Amino acid sequence: MEKEVRVRFAPSPTGGLHIGGVRTILYNYLFAKQNKGKFILRIEDTDQSRFVPGAPDEGVNYGGNYGPYRQSERKKIYRQYAEQLVAQGNAYYAFDTPVDLENKRNAIPNFQYNQATRMHMRNSMTIPHEAAEALVREGAPHVIRIKMPTYENVYFNDLIRGDVAFDTNQVDDKVLLKADGMPTYHLAVVVDDYLMKISHVFRGEEWLPSAPVHILLWKYLGWETDMPQWVHLPLILKPDGKGKLSKRDGERLGFPVFATEWIDPKTNEKAIGYQEIGFLPQALNNLLALLGWNDSTDQEIFSLEEMVDKFSLERVHKGGAKFDWDKAKWFNAEWLKKLSATELLPYVTPMLAEKNIRPDMQYLSTIVDLVKERCVLLPDFYEQSFFFFNAPQLYDMDALKNKWAAEKDLFFNDLISHFKQTENWEAPQIERVFKELASAKAIKIGELMLPFRVMLVGGKFGPQVFLIAQYIGKQETIDRIVKALGIVT
């Protein structure tokens, strides 16, 4: 029988949710949905800190049969496995004090606790076994380290990278259980993936060097046949391709790297997220999915359902994906065009309410449809539409007054009377009245359009000006012309 697909996102909650993490969540989710599997959220908090939520089937705050899902609450589970490894000879107790280790690091450049050095340290391989056990019994501070084998190759298959091999001589004796009794990530991740029956491990490529340690642990604990498939995802790179996109790059290069706002508890520094800067969730998912995957065609816009349908590990690239901020914004602009006014209202309404604009929903829908094509980020919506709800307070005086002359003054005064008599207040009719009056007065239409626009919206922006007049209404249009004439002359 095929093994049930069970995947997990296992963040260490030590900072904001980086977009690389969001992409890992997304690939986990797509893969789980596609295979009718389960997606689990597990908090790897053996180093302690905070936590950011996702949308899983099982996990912290979601329940499930394989809990608890927070590693710090699973402490007693791990010790027995660490002890089993010691008893089997695959791990050992190490009693070196922090001072001992510090001295070694100072004395030997790039000191590593490994096969070359372990016999010069204080551990259960250098002191008699009974003495070591007595020390542990008496509660002497100690850690448990894996005993990396000498001259062995660890081979494994990665669903993205293919066959991978590691020389065990190059890997140090990682700590498995810390002096406080907490497991390290290396022990906890293996024990938890086993007990939670994880079938596929999706994680960033930065974890690849840890894989040999994990694979040996799967083997030593006797669980090799249950070992998950490995899926190491390509890195998201800085825009210039030089290295991994880091938390600090966002601030340096002027775009967010976190999904949502993150305030560093130590420095109180605030980093704005994709949500706050005005990305639609659909756009963020879409752009992250494409940072590392495509469906082999030129298609770039995918809904979540479509991605569930088309996602495939064979089409995830091996190489890192360069982050491109302009391209990211392009995805958002495309999604703004794609979504209906009704779908956009939940994002737009609270944004306008913050500015004390609470329009009728029917009217707002019409306006959303009219201006969404001109927006890139959600806050652009306000800039592109505020004049539909309020008369402008500020005017671009240069644009308004440019080549202003008595004849223009007369034109707009006459326009007011003509508008008053206009019955059918719709853009084509308004345009006709405007143009007929201009030609009767022999003024070039081009000379009049800009001042008219500035009168209605305050500057050189907004959609087609006769549509603006139509939607704000006849009386409001007239009032705005009157007000502007008062300023210009």
Amino acid at 155: Y
Using the rule CB under 6 A, give the single segment among 9-17, 238-246, 390-398, 464-472 that binds ligand GLU.
Answer: 9-17
Nearest Cα residue to 229 out of 3, 401, 447, 457: 3
Using the rule CB under 6 A, give the single segment among 6-14, 120-128, 147-155, 303-311 that binds ligand GLU.
Answer: 6-14
Using the rule CB under 6 A, give the single segment among 7-15, 54-62, 323-331, 411-419 that binds ligand GLU.
Answer: 7-15
Beta-carbon contacts of 277 under 8 Å, excluding residues fewer than 6 positions away, are 255, 256, 377, 379
Helix, strand or coil for residue 94?
A: strand
What positions carry a catalytic annotation?
247
Least Å distance between CB 76 and ligand GLU? 20
Using the rule CB under 6 A, give the single segment among 4-12, 113-121, 241-249, 465-473 that binds ligand GLU.
Answer: 4-12
Nearest Cα residue to 185 out of 209, 162, 165, 154: 209
Least Å distance between CB 92 and ligand GLU? 24
Sites for ligand GLU among residues 156-185 (CB under 6 A): 185
Which of 5, 6, 7, 10 is the binder for ligand GLU (CB under 6 A)?
10
197 or 435, CB closer to ligand GLU? Answer: 197
DSSP 8-state symbol, 83:
H
Least Å distance between CB 15 and ligand GLU? 10
Least Å distance between CB 455 and ligand GLU? 57
DSSP 8-state symbol, 148:
P
For residue 48, count CB atoms less than 10 angstroms from its CB and return exposed for 0-12, middle for 13-18, buried for 19 or more: exposed
Alpha-carbon distance 89 to 321, whole Å? Answer: 42
Least Å distance between CB 207 and ligand GLU? 5
Sites for ligand GLU among residues 202-231 (CB under 6 A): 203, 207
What mask of x and - would describe binding to ligand GLU in positions 186 to 205, judged by CB under 6 A? ---x-----------x-x--
55 or 410, CB closer to ligand GLU? Answer: 55
218 or 388, CB closer to ligand GLU? Answer: 218
Q: Assess contact for 344 and 368: CB atoms under 8 A.
A: yes
Give the phi and the psi of residue 440 in degrees, each rounded to 5. Answer: -60, -35
175 or 201, CB closer to ligand GLU? Answer: 201
What mask of x and - would describe binding to ligand GLU in positions 399 to 438, judged by CB under 6 A? ----------------------------------------
Nearest Cα residue to 309 out of 31, 24, 28: 31
Least Å distance between CB 154 and ligand GLU? 16
Alpha-carbon distance 308 to 222, whole Å? Answer: 35
Amino acid at 291: L
Using the rule CB under 6 A, give the single segment among 10-18, 173-181, 368-376, 377-385 that binds ligand GLU.
Answer: 10-18
Beta-carbon contacts of 401 under 8 Å, excluding residues fewer than 6 positions away, are 488
Tokens of 104: 């070694």
Binding of ligand GLU by 11 (CB under 6 A): yes
Least Å distance between CB 120 and ligand GLU? 32
Q: Assess contact for 216 and 172: CB atoms under 8 A.
A: no
Place of tokens 């209906």: 340
201 or 481, CB closer to ligand GLU? Answer: 201
Helix (H) or strand (E) holding 146: strand 143-146
Least Å distance between CB 67 and ligand GLU? 17
Which of 44, 58, 158, 249 is the binder for ligand GLU (CB under 6 A)?
44
Give the number of residues in contact with ligand GLU, rule: CB under 6 A.
9
Least Å distance between CB 214 and ligand GLU? 8
Helix, strand or coil for residue 297?
A: coil
Using the rule CB under 6 A, give the single segment among 8-16, 160-168, 252-260, 302-310 that binds ligand GLU.
Answer: 8-16
Within 10 angstroms of residue 61's Cβ, the number of other Cβ atoms is 12
Cα 191 off chain centre by: 28
What mask of x and - would describe binding to ligand GLU in positions 138 to 157, judged by CB under 6 A? --------------------
257 or 484, CB closer to ligand GLU? Answer: 257
Q: How far is CA 171 from CA 115, 143, 151, 152, 284, in A?
A: 9, 18, 11, 11, 37
Tokens of 353: 């309410």
Least Å distance between CB 271 and ligand GLU? 18
193 or 334, CB closer to ligand GLU? Answer: 193
45 or 96, CB closer to ligand GLU? Answer: 45
Q: Computed over its alpha carbons, how large is the radius of gyration of the chain?
A: 32
Nearest Cα residue to 72 out of 161, 148, 183, 146: 183
166 or 185, CB closer to ligand GLU? Answer: 185
Q: How far is CA 327 from CA 309, 320, 334, in A?
A: 24, 16, 11
52 or 339, CB closer to ligand GLU? Answer: 52
HSE-CB for 456 with a 13 A CA cutoff: 28
Contacts with ligand GLU by CB under 6 A lie at 10-12, 44, 185, 189, 201, 203, 207
